[in-house]
A and B are shown apart, each in its own frame.
Chain A
Amino acid sequence: DAGVTQSPTHLIKTRGQHVTLRCSPISGHKSVSWYQQVLGQGPQFIFQYYEKEERGRGNFPDRFSARQFPNYSSELNVNALLLGDSALYLCASSLARQGGQETQYFGPGTRLLVL
């Protein structure tokens, strides 16, 4: 079975530009979450979507937005890029079980470099 896939794998942008990152969940998974991982730190939660509805949002500015499509794939958008947005962006999918028991399956990530 295919795991979580993300595209692109690497991306270089300049300050002020906009970026769109894409994620396809594991077949049958209806929940997608996005995380940002800055070098040397653990991943930080950005968004979670379930059945196209936002179910959770982390402490990130409004420049970050996301959406989930009817096929459960998802996009993360970041506007007005800053140097500090350089990071590994991780997507995770899950079956959306009862809270606490949910296992998340992560993709390989998109590495974004902002110059």
Chain B
Amino acid sequence: DAKTTQPNSMESNEEEPVHLPCNHSTISGTDYIHWYRQLPSQGPEYVIHGLTSNVNNRMASLAIAEDRKSSTLILHRATLRDAAVYYCILAGSARQLTFGSGTQLTVLP
């Protein structure tokens, strides 16, 4: 599976936008970019996914670079409930998810 690189941790102030980066320079043409998050003491939760175009849903936006070697998860207004570990995952023909270490997001009041 192609690998992703994320910062270990990030901080954000409450009600401000958060941009979580992910590098995936070895992505293949058929890999989808998925983001999941894991709140404390819970299972991972699906956030968003995309292939080439930017995507928006009620939780977040996903901005994908034109060469697809990087992407950014955007939380438009961070709340305290958004404090979690965010995982960027490439999903291809294999249906299992390969999690890395993720980014620990801390939201400051």
Chain A: which residue is nearest B30 at the CB level? A100
Which of chain B's residues 40-54 have a Cβ closer than 8 Å to chain A?
42-46, 49, 51
Within the complex, the shortest CB–CB distance from A114 to chain B, in Å, comes to 20
Contacts of A44 in B (CB 8 A): 99
Interface hub of B34, B95, B97, B99 (most chain A Cβ within 10 A): B95
* Complex: A23 Cα to B44 Cα, angstroms: 15
Query: Which of A48, A56, A58, A99 makes the CB contact (< 8 A) with B91?
Result: A99
Task: Judge whether A55 is part of the interface by a CB distance below 8 angstroms.
Answer: yes
Number of interface residues of A (CB under 8 A): 28
* A105–B46 CA distance with the chains assembled, in angstroms: 7
Q: Give the distance to chain A from B45, nearest Cβ to Cβ, in Å.
A: 7
With A90-B43, A105-B46, A106-B44 known as contacts, the answer to whether A100 contacts B97 (CB < 8 A) is no
B46-86 interface bits toward A, Cβ cutoff 8 Å, 1 = contact, 0 = none:
10010100000000000000000000000000000000010
Q: Contact: B102 with A100, CB < 8 Å? A: no
Closest to B33 in A: A100
Q: Let me know if A42 and B100 touch, CB within 8 A.
A: yes
- A45:B45 contact, CB within 8 angstroms: no
Q: What CA separation (Å) do A31 and B34 show in the bound complex?
A: 18
Contact A48 B96 (CB under 8 A): yes
Contact check, A108 vs B95: say whether CB atoms are below 8 A apart. Answer: no
Min CB distance B73 to A, Å, is 15
Whether a CB of chain B sits under 8 angstroms from the CB of A27 is: no
8 Å CB contact of A108 from B42, B91, B92, B100: B42
Q: How far is the CB of A23 from chain B (nearest CB, A)?
A: 11
Question: In the complex, A99 Cα to B30 Cα: how many Å?
Answer: 9
With contacts A90-B43, A90-B44, A108-B42 taken as known, whether A103 is within 8 angstroms of B49 at the C-beta atoms is yes
Q: A33-B96, A56-B96, A103-B46 are in contact. List 20 more A-B contacts (CB 8 A).
A: A31-B95, A33-B95, A35-B99, A41-B101, A42-B100, A42-B102, A90-B43, A92-B43, A94-B95, A99-B92, A99-B93, A99-B94, A100-B30, A100-B51, A101-B49, A102-B91, A103-B34, A106-B45, A108-B42, A108-B43
B residues lining the A interface (CB < 8 Å): 30-32, 34, 42-46, 49, 51, 85, 87, 91-102
